[in-house]
Each structure stands twice: as C-alpha cells, then as structure tokens.
C-alpha cells in the first residue's frame, strides 16, 4: 500500500498550476476544536476533509454505544464514503479527537473540476483504490490477528497516538473491551 501512497503523492506533486489553482479555489481551510463534529449521523457528507493536523475519528451508534471504525491522522482523508458517493444520509459521525485543521472540498465542486482536469480524475481513482485496499486490510487483520497484534500494529504506525486518543476510542477501534486493552497494555513494555 505504500507504493500506492507514493503514486498519490507523485500525482499531487506533479499537478500543474492551472489544476492547483482550480483545486485551491474549491478548497477551504477549516479548524475544529477537540470534540467538534465534522459530520453528524443522518447528514449528507457533502465535503471531503484532508487532515492537515490533529486526529479525528469516524464512528457510529449501535444500541446507544459508540463504535469507532476509523482513527484519522495527519494526511488522512476523512469522509463518510458511502454518503459522499451517493449523497445520501451518513450512518457515521466524524469527530475531532484533538484540535484539527483540515482542507475541505465540496463534493459537487470537486466533481465539476475533476471533469476539467484529468490529473484530478486519476488522483480521485487512486485515492478510492487506496481506501478500498486499506479497508480490505483492516477487515483481514480484524479477522485474522489477535487484539494484541492489532494494538501493536497501531502503535507501530502511530506511536504518539496513545497520548492523544482516549483509550475507549482505541479499544472500540480494535473491537475489544477497555478491560482487555488495559491487560494488553500492561504486558507491553513502554
């Protein structure tokens, strides 16, 4: 998947001036305070949010219990994918875990300029492919790796995450109880 990220970064770095200007014209920098919502369940996801700094999470409610599906860090794309594509109400929330700075792009504006600039069409396709591969890996890991291994991978990929993300969100993301996470953490030497 790193190879795919390199392709995405290469396309971004090679965008010509006209394409960059069009993209900047439809982008807005926004900041959200810790706890603010970028998207509520039931709203249509009309924006994609490129995380410039901070941490966000995606979650949904199941029997009044919050279930975290994604933790989003710097250079991640925060979007309720199904809602964004279909423009139907989202089943998910997107919330700032820390103060977050994002570059947001309105879906309809992006669709319009994507048709004018082929590099944006290619970028959109690569990002969709990357997200699909990430999701497939997450599902595979979820079903084949034990919770301790999944936690170790998360620590490896985001070593400072534990200081910034509440343990309840991490446990939910890993699909385990807070008590199980505490036992796993007690066995790991920091």
Comparing 82 with 157, which gets the higher pLDDT? 82
Best CA proximity match to 73, nearest among 169, 6, 165, 137 = 165
**What integer best gives the mean pLDDT of the chain?**
91
Q: In what order do the strands lie in the sheet with 56-62?
A: 37-39, 93-96, 56-62, 65-72
- Over 90: is that where the pLDDT of 162 sits? no
Phi–psi pair at 57, nearest 5 degrees: -140, 155
> Which pLDDT tens digit goes with each residue over 68-92?
999 999 888 999 999 999 999 999 9
- pTM higher than 0.85, yes or no? yes
For residue 165, how many other CB atoms are within 10 A of its CB?
20
Query: Residues of the chain with pLDDT > 70: what percent?
Result: 96
Domains in the chain with CATH codes = 1-142 (2.60.120.10), 145-189 (no CATH)
Tokens for 77, please give them: 């794309």
């Amino acid at each position: 998947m790193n190879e795919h990220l390199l392709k995405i970064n290469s396309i971004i770095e090679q965008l010509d001036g006209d394409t960059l200007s069009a993209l900047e014209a439809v982008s807005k920098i926004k900041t959200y305070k810790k706890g603010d919502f970028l998207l509520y369940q039931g709203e249509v996801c009309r924006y994609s949010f490129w995380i410039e700094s901070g941490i966000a999470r995606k979650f949904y409610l199941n029997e009044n219990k919050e279930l975290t599906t994604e933790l989003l860090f710097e250079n991640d794309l925060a979007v309720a994918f199904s809602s964004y594509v279909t423009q139907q109400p989202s089943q998910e929330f997107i919330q700032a875990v820390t103060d977050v700075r994002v570059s947001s792009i309105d879906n309809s504006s992006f669709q319009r300029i994507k048709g004018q600039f082929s590099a944006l069409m290619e970028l959109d396709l690569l990002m969709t492919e990357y997200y699909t591969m990430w999701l497939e890996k997450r599902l595979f890991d979820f079903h084949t790796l034990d919770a301790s291994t999944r936690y170790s991978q998360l620590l490896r990929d985001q070593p400072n995450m534990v200081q910034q993300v509440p343990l309840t969100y991490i446990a939910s993301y890993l699909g385990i109880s807070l008590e199980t996470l505490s036992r796993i953490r007690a066995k790991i030497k920091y």
